[in-house]
């Protein structure tokens, strides 16, 4: 028993306090934002769920710290199978919400498997990249890597969740770049993507097409597809420097702002806490991303570096896309703001990702880039 506690203490004392402090501060901040966003609902359910998810997420993160990420990567085949199983199960028994079939209902609990699969995909893809790092630029390495990603990406797209699919694509690109894939591959893919854009756009549903078009001209359908963008910009703009005050935002408290506790929580902060509140959110998220890449730089090996790069990619892209759509700069594709938006699955999965990064930090010896 003494050896067991010594093992736990030896790992916990090496966790990264800065990353833990930043992610916890963001989660606590989110509870106050969710409390204000849902105040008009006359129920404390949302706040209770957010708080419970934060506490469970912190506990899960500490458990993950105790596990050497190399042990997780050695089980990559089984982890990948589990990820595929969860996504296929979602397609079979999942409940459709807002055009996306990405929720599994277990009694009073709703779970979004695609949120948790992010961690599994990052670990398995890092392990795959580590195995082929010696010949990463050869087709016999690139093709299987693309298939690895393509299976997950296709299942997410079949769920109708374009926003989450884009997150996985960004993870794929960042991890391939971090692994040393030659820039010519990215150039060819970029040109191909541009050429295929009209075809891909034509295959999107009318709902998704209008979401994209509404970015360029929300007035095309101000009471429909452009409504979210218009109300979000009004909410942020009305906040000024210091905001209307918590629980005092007109757009928020009168529920004029749609999806205010989830996709548009940043708009709630803009209206009620103003420019300074928005800057605080940006600083916290930027600091988390920077710290994650700092740990990647000091990882003990290639796999640990890639895991951190993948986690950093998730947080950066989701934050950029969510804030961009709140400001009317990017399409509204239903992406949550990491650590801030309401959602048990989102919060718990986000803390698990932080746990992975802290596992890399806890089990490092020296540093991959220092060898």
For the segment 114-132, what is each residue's pLDDT rounded down to a tens digit?
999 999 999 999 999 999 9
pLDDT band at 67 (very low <50, low <70, confident <90, very high): confident
Average pLDDT over residues 18-34: 95
Higher per-residue pLDDT: 109 or 39: 39
Tens digits of residue pLDDT in 205-263: 676 677 677 666 676 666 666 788 888 999 999 888 998 989 998 888 888 888 899 99
Position 21 confidence tier, pLDDT thresholds 50, 70, 90? very high
Over residues 253-270, the pLDDT tens digits come to 888 888 899 999 999 999
Confidence (pLDDT) at 195: 86
pLDDT band per the 50, 70, 90 thresholds, residue 145 = very high
Q: What is the pLDDT of residue 316?
A: 97
Confidence of residue 371 (pLDDT cuts 50, 70, 90): very low
Q: Which of 42-56, 182-196, 246-260 has the highest mean pLDDT?
A: 42-56
> Lowest-pLDDT range, 83-92, 144-153, 193-202?
193-202
Of 255, 261, 283, 289, nearest to 346 by C-alpha is 261
pLDDT digits (tens, 9 = 90+) for 290-321: 999 999 998 888 999 999 999 999 999 999 99
Is pLDDT at 369 greater than 70 in this prediction? no
Split at pLDDT 50, 70, 90, the class of 370 is very low
- What separation, in Å, do the N-terminal and C-terminal C-alpha atoms of the chain show? 36
344 closest CA partner among 23, 21, 41, 57: 57
pLDDT-derived band at 71, boundaries 50, 70, 90: confident
The DSSP secondary structure of 124-148, one letter per residue, reads HHHHHHHHTGGGTTSHHHHHHHHHH
Rounded mean pLDDT of the chain? 88
Show Cβ contacts of residue 319 under 8 Å, excluding neighbours closer than 6 positions. 285, 289, 337, 338
| Per-domain residue ranges of the chain | 2-74+164-370
What pLDDT is attached to residue 368?
44
Q: DSSP letters along 86-111, please?
A: HHHHHHHHPEEETTEEEEEEETTEEE
Nearest Cα residue to 303 out of 265, 256, 253, 356: 356
Q: Which long-range contacts (CB under 8 A, 24 or more apart) does 34-42 make?
A: 34/261, 34/265, 34/342, 36/246, 36/247, 36/249, 36/252, 36/253, 36/268, 36/272, 37/252, 37/260, 37/261, 37/265, 37/268, 37/342, 38/261, 38/342, 39/247, 39/253, 40/252, 40/253, 40/254, 40/255
Point out the least confidently predicted range of 87-91, 254-258, 303-307, 338-342: 254-258
Average pLDDT over residues 84-111: 84
């Amino acid at each position: 028993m003494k050896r067991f506690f010594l093992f736990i203490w030896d790992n916990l004392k090496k966790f990264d306090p800065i990353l833990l402090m930043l992610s916890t501060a963001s989660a606590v901040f989110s509870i106050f934002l969710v409390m204000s966003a849902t105040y008009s609902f006359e129920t404390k359910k949302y706040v209770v769920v957010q708080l419970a998810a934060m506490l469970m997420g912190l506990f899960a993160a500490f458990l993950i710290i105790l596990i050497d990420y190399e042990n997780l990567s050695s089980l990559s085949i089984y982890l990948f199978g589990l990820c595929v199983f969860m996504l296929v199960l979602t397609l079979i028994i999942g409940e459709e919400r807002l055009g996306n079939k990405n929720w599994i209902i277990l009694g009073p609990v709703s779970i979004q498997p695609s949120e948790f699969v992010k961690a599994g995909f990052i670990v398995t893809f890092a392990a795959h990249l580590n195995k082929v790092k010696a010949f990463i630029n050869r087709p016999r390495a690139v093709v299987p890597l693309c298939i690895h990603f393509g299976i997950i990406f296709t299942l997410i797209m079949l769920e109708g969740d374009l926003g989450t699919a884009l997150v996985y694509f960004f993870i794929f690109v960042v991890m391939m770049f971090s692994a040393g894939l030659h820039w010519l591959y990215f150039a060819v893919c970029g040109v191909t993507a541009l050429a295929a854009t009209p075809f891909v756009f034509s295959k999107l549903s009318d709902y998704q097409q209008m979401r994209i078009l509404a970015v360029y001209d929300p007035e095309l359908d101000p009471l429909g597809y452009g409504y979210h963008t218009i109300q979000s910009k009004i909410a942020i703009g009305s906040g000024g420097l210091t905001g209307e005050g918590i629980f005092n935002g007109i757009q928020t408290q009168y529920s004029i702002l749609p999806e205010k506790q989830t996709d548009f929580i940043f708009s709630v902060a803009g209206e009620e806490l103003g420019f300074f509140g928005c800057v605080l959110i940006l600083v916290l998220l930027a600091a988390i991303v920077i710290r994650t890449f700092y740990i990647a730089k000091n990882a003990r090996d290639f796999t640990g570096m890639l895991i951190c790069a993948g986690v950093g990619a998730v947080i950066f892209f989701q934050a950029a896309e969510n804030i961009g759509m709140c400001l009317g700069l990017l399409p509204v594709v239903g992406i949550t703001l990491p650590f801030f938006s309401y959602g048990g699955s989102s919060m718990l999965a986000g803390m698990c990702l932080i746990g992975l990064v802290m596992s890399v930090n806890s089990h490092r010896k020296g540093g991959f880039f220092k060898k």
